[in-house]
Amino acid sequence: MSGEVSPTGQRADPGSPPDVRASHADRDRVVDVLRIAAGDGLLTADELDERVEAALSARTRRELAALTADLPPVSATTGATVAEVKDVVRIDQVHSGPVERTGRWVVPRRLELAVTYCEVTLDFTDAVITHDTLRIDVAMTGKTLTLVTRPGIVVDTDALHLVHSRITYRGTPARPGAPVVLRVELVGQKAHGRVVVRPPRRTLGQWLRRGPA
């Protein structure tokens, strides 16, 4: 035998005991991997719910390993590891170029946005999502805060205080059975400018076919 599969989808050390008790950190890591897999379309909403419930109640690492045994390793599916995920990221910028997070960027648990007169774009289309909630603490004046969503991502703006500002919300059409992989909570204050929540822009071919982005 070449060793068991670890809770994150990697091969475990052949000499490790097979029935080691799982810690809270072990369970959290597996839940992160499952959410990434769901975001990449590898798990359905029902499969995600079932496996997350099993992970949270697992007693041993062997039980956890079974939940990710049929999934590619995290590094192969996302280009990043769960260890690279940061709890808090702060963006502090004044009167400078645009702030952009696009492509396979790793979404933290919390984002502190302290920006004055700079455009901000957070594109979740291909983002690596490892948590079910992202809290964005907004302290932004001027320009536009744009959030580009995809099916399975919802944005809550109820706790955001607007001062001479407005919100344009165009939700992303949800596919049947698509899991809610991320809830974005905007809190704090946006003064002047706009907040825009929209789906990805369609290509010329998609426009001609009247298809979604």
Q: Copy the structure tokens of residue 91.
A: 């963006």
Q: Say what the pLDDT of residue 203 is.
A: 57
Q: Say what the pLDDT of residue 208 is.
A: 57
Return d(Cα 194, Cα 4) in angstroms, integer: 51
Query: What are the tens digits of pLDDT across the range 96-149?
Result: 889 999 888 888 889 999 999 999 999 999 888 878 899 999 999 999 999 999
pLDDT over 70 (residue 6): no
Q: Say what the pLDDT of residue 139 is.
A: 97
Measured at the alpha carbon of residue 134, what is the angle toward residues 129 and 138, in degrees to the nearest 5?
Answer: 135
Q: Copy the structure tokens of residue 75.
A: 């590094």
Query: What are the tens digits of pLDDT across the range 162-184?
Result: 999 999 998 766 666 667 889 99
Return d(Cα 188, Cα 68) in angstroms, integer: 38
Return d(Cα 119, Cα 129) in angstroms, integer: 23
pLDDT over 60 (residue 14): no
Q: Which of 19-28, 35-44, 198-207 has the lowest mean pLDDT?
A: 198-207
What sign for the dihedral angle of Cα 92, 96, 98, 102?
negative
Burial 72-106, CB ≥16 within 10 A → b, else e: ebbeebbebbbeebeeeeebebeeeeebebeeebb
Return d(Cα 82, Cα 34) in angstroms, integer: 11
The alpha-helical segments, DSSP class H, found in 9-86 are: 24-39, 45-57, 61-68, 74-78
Query: What are the tens digits of pLDDT across the range 54-110?
Result: 999 999 989 999 998 898 765 444 445 444 567 899 999 999 889 999 888 888 889
